[in-house]
Structure 1
């Protein structure tokens, strides 16, 4: 278990699948690199903390007994090591470890819109929601 003493989970325990471990494995295969090479790049740009090869091995699901979910600094380090967007790692970790289903659309436009919302002031977000509700009533939008 990791030093932060978080509980570990297996996909069978969480019931959410292996999106995170599958992403890491498939990306490493795409890069054609070994764990040592990935580990050498897996450094959190914010804190300078380095991921160890053994931790990467476990995060890829190569050890019995489950996986301790990664901390945020580890996700940033993994983004550097695996050369993936941080958001993609967050989505996959959320799915596998916490049962979070990230917003998806056929075109990907909805994700881009949602990510831009945080940069709007609260009054503009409210006006935008009112406009959307006038075009697509909430009862048809899938939230009710």
Structure 2
């Protein structure tokens, strides 16, 4: 049986953001401090970040590491979470609703990218409808 293609969502995000911010692995590692627990220091090492970006196997990050990486890359935590779900668990995250709102509906499923455009639209519509049905009323 052929080996499944490994995803590189987190590695690609880290690599591109490092280039945008002109960060070295060592500098980024020093910036990966979890804002919820700053006394615990940097959450990532230079070598782990380098291994991640180079496609070598690394363990899925803990919530503390995710928050630290988000801080280090100056990105929202949810972008790091989405990339982790995709790369390590093969779960695609599709947000629907008004852009930028924390209350967006979130669809998480495996192999979303293999669905037809029509099926993707159907899922988004279901999530939008569900989000409206479960949203607290303004009363």
Contact 1:103–1:111 (8 Å) recurs in 2:
no
In structure 2, the partner of 1:73 is 64
Query: Higher relative contact order at CA 8 Å, sep ≥6: structure 1 or structure 2?
Result: 1
| Equivalent in 15, 21, 30 of residue 25 of structure 1 | 15
| Equivalent in 73, 76, 80 of residue 85 of structure 1 | 76
TM-score, length basis structure 1: 0.61
Contact 2:31–2:71 (8 Å) recurs in 1:
yes
In structure 2, the partner of 1:7 is none
Look up the SS of the partner of 2:91 in the other structure. coil
Please list every run of at least 4 consecutive aligned residues from structure 1 whose deviation after the TM superposition is greater than 6 angstroms. none
Greater share of strand: 2
Q: Name the CA distance, whole Å, in 2 between partners of 1:72 and 1:21.
A: 17
User: Structure 2, unaligned stretches of length 5 or more?
Assistant: 107-129, 135-139
Cα deviation digits, residues 78-131 of structure 1 (max 9, x gap)? 01111111000000110111111111459747985327xxxxxxxxx89825xx
1:36 aligns with 2:26: yes
Answer with 1 or 2: which has the greater Rg: 1
Q: Name the CA distance, whole Å, in 2 between partners of 1:29 and 1:93.
A: 19
- How many aligned residue pairs are there? 108
Q: Name the CA distance, whole Å, in 2 between partners of 1:98 and 1:108.
A: 25
User: Structure 1, unaligned stretches of length 5 or more?
Assistant: 1-11, 116-124, 130-144
1:57 aligns with 2:50: yes
| Equivalent in 92, 95, 105 of residue 101 of structure 1 | 92
Q: Name the CA distance, whole Å, in 2 between partners of 1:114 and 1:76.
A: 21
Contact 1:14–1:97 (8 Å) recurs in 2:
no
TM-score, length basis structure 2: 0.63
